[in-house]
Amino acid sequence: MYLTNAMKFIPKHPFFSVVLLCLSFTLLSCRSAKKVSFKAPVDTTTKYIKLQLKQTYNLSDVGVYASNDFDGARLNGFEKENDSTAIVVINPENVPINNSPYYAFKTWTNSPKTFYFKFKYPKGFKHRYIPKLKVNDVWSVIDSSYLFKEDSIVTIKLNLDKTPIIVAAQEIQSTTDVKNWYTELARGKESYVRIKSAGESTLGRNLPVLEIYKGDREQKDLIVLITRQHPPEVTGYYAFQSFLETVLDNSQLSDQFLHKYRVVAFPIMNPDGVDLGHWRHNKGGVDMNRDWSIYNQPEIEQTVKFINKTLKKNKSKLILGLDFHSTWYDVFYTNKTKESTSLPNFIENWFLSLEKNIPSYKVNEQSANSNKPTSKGWFLYGHNAVGITYEIGDKTPKDSIKLFGKVSAEQMMNILLNNNY
Ligand SMILES: [Zn+2]
């Protein structure tokens, strides 16, 4: 604002523009968070994205409706192929983008009818997610006898009537659902779970953060939990939920842990992408998990500032960062550098104890230092902390996810309390 006003009084000469640019750069950089450099930088400046038109499609001569008019929906077109089949057009928010073709729409008819839906993605993208169906508020996975695959083109069959069915790539967990969950989780725990805000997304959605500790707030080492940088990665979010619920489960372990350590947990890093039904990016058309170097995107910039401010204010050290995602299978991506971190033996001991405490479970670890600006690399290069990308498979059953989340939280607390790192 003051710069805009000041500009009116500065003669329009290239020299003055340069001075002004330098001045504004200095002012901005004073206030910005410390950058972290990576071997393979990625351009994370804001890109154009194409917003889907929110509407209800009506194939009037066959009496079938489809709508994307809700948070988390994605439907870019709905066209009649013949009297029993519609083409479901699904496009990404922008390209290039990886193959995570997310879709979600609501469909119904006025009178009962069996109808087919054929998925159509742009060239180069293939169907990935098995459809989940929500009827009368209950989610289920589509029965395999209702799913047909021909040359990688997927068609599903549904028995429609007046009750809308939501068809989605993954169960929908919108910003409202996430808020309901953490509000409920924190209820009755107000003295040690503080719901705060790290700021706002590009479209003004809240960036919530739960700050958790008991007793004296100073000099407690910090553990950072984050999730939903990538909107469709709901199975990773379920592990995050189970993990945090265990940290807050009122057990003796939890009580001791929270007297010694502080946790900050970010339950929805990309609220715009989640509610807009994105495949991977935020409103800025960027993969947020490549922006942990110079923080072009507001979500990452404000998250980093919040973490750094918390550390400084409480004279504490970031020791561990877990970033919950989903991919094709369960895997932990770790950094190769372990010895020089604050917890040199943590990973080894954690994985051993997971295998010991989860029946017939074998840890899948893929270890490499991050060249690209991911959160995992930021934890290591920016803080000398252990950084782990905690990936849950797209198809991992919910009860297994719950168990992984629970046991991994318990074992983390055990190891950190027993100085077994
Ligand atoms: Zn991811």
Amino acid at 394: D
Q: How far apart are CA 76 and CA 114, in angstroms?
A: 23
* Distance from residue 348's CA to the centre of ligand 1 (Å): 23
Looking up tokens 């001075």, which residue turns up? 19
Distances (CA, A) of 318 to 220, 263, 326, 349, 350: 9, 10, 24, 19, 18
* Distance from residue 231's CA to the centre of ligand 1 (Å): 8
* Distance from residue 230's CA to the centre of ligand 1 (Å): 5
Sequence-distant (≥ 6) Cβ neighbours of residue 26 within 8 angstroms:
none
As given in the structure block, the two tokens for residue 212 are: 């958790």
For residue range 121-137, list pLDDT tens digits in order. 999 999 999 999 999 99
* Distance from residue 229's CA to the centre of ligand 1 (Å): 7
The region, left, alpha or beta by phi > 0 then psi within -120 to 50, assigned to residue 419 is: left
Whether the per-residue pLDDT at 6 is higher than 80: the answer is: no
* Distance from residue 135's CA to the centre of ligand 1 (Å): 28
Average pLDDT over residues 244-271: 98
* Distance from residue 123's CA to the centre of ligand 1 (Å): 22
* Distance from residue 64's CA to the centre of ligand 1 (Å): 35
* Distance from residue 63's CA to the centre of ligand 1 (Å): 38
As given in the structure block, the two tokens for residue 395 are: 């198809």
Q: How far apart are CA 97 and CA 91, in angstroms?
A: 11
pLDDT band at 71 (very low <50, low <70, confident <90, very high): very high
pTM (two decimals): 0.92
pLDDT at residue 31 in the model: 57
* Distance from residue 170's CA to the centre of ligand 1 (Å): 14
User: Looking at beta carbons, which pairs linking 144-148 to residues 24 or more positions away fall under 8 Å?
Assistant: none
Q: How far apart are CA 54 and CA 167, in angstroms?
A: 16
- SS3 string of 69-114? CCCCCECCEEEEEECCEEEEECCCCCCCCCCCCCCEEEEEECCCEE
Q: What are phi and psi of 115, to 5 degrees?
A: -140, 150
Average pLDDT over residues 388-400: 98
Poorest-confidence range of 1-15, 26-40, 127-141, 387-401?
1-15
* Distance from residue 367's CA to the centre of ligand 1 (Å): 16
* Distance from residue 413's CA to the centre of ligand 1 (Å): 25
* Distance from residue 325's CA to the centre of ligand 1 (Å): 4
pLDDT at residue 10 in the model: 41
* Distance from residue 255's CA to the centre of ligand 1 (Å): 31
* Distance from residue 416's CA to the centre of ligand 1 (Å): 26
* Distance from residue 205's CA to the centre of ligand 1 (Å): 20
Q: How far apart are CA 360 and CA 249, in angstroms?
A: 25
* Distance from residue 384's CA to the centre of ligand 1 (Å): 22
Distances (CA, A) of 307 to 261, 357, 373, 412: 15, 32, 17, 20
pLDDT band at 290 (very low <50, low <70, confident <90, very high): very high
Q: What are phi and psi of 212, to 5 degrees?
A: -130, 125
Whether the per-residue pLDDT at 22 is higher than 90: the answer is: no
**By the 8 A CB rule, do 76 and 146 touch?**
no
Give the side-chain half-sphere CA count within 13 A for 303.
Answer: 36
* Distance from residue 16's CA to the centre of ligand 1 (Å): 44
Whether the per-residue pLDDT at 11 is higher than 80: the answer is: no
* Distance from residue 331's CA to the centre of ligand 1 (Å): 12
* Distance from residue 100's CA to the centre of ligand 1 (Å): 10
Of residues 150 and 15, the one with the higher pLDDT is 150
Q: What are phi and psi of 417, to 5 degrees?
A: -75, -30
* Distance from residue 393's CA to the centre of ligand 1 (Å): 11
* Distance from residue 294's CA to the centre of ligand 1 (Å): 19
Whether the per-residue pLDDT at 384 is higher than 60: the answer is: yes
Of residues 8 and 103, the one with the higher pLDDT is 103
Give the side-chain half-sphere CA count within 13 A for 313.
Answer: 9
* Distance from residue 35's CA to the centre of ligand 1 (Å): 22
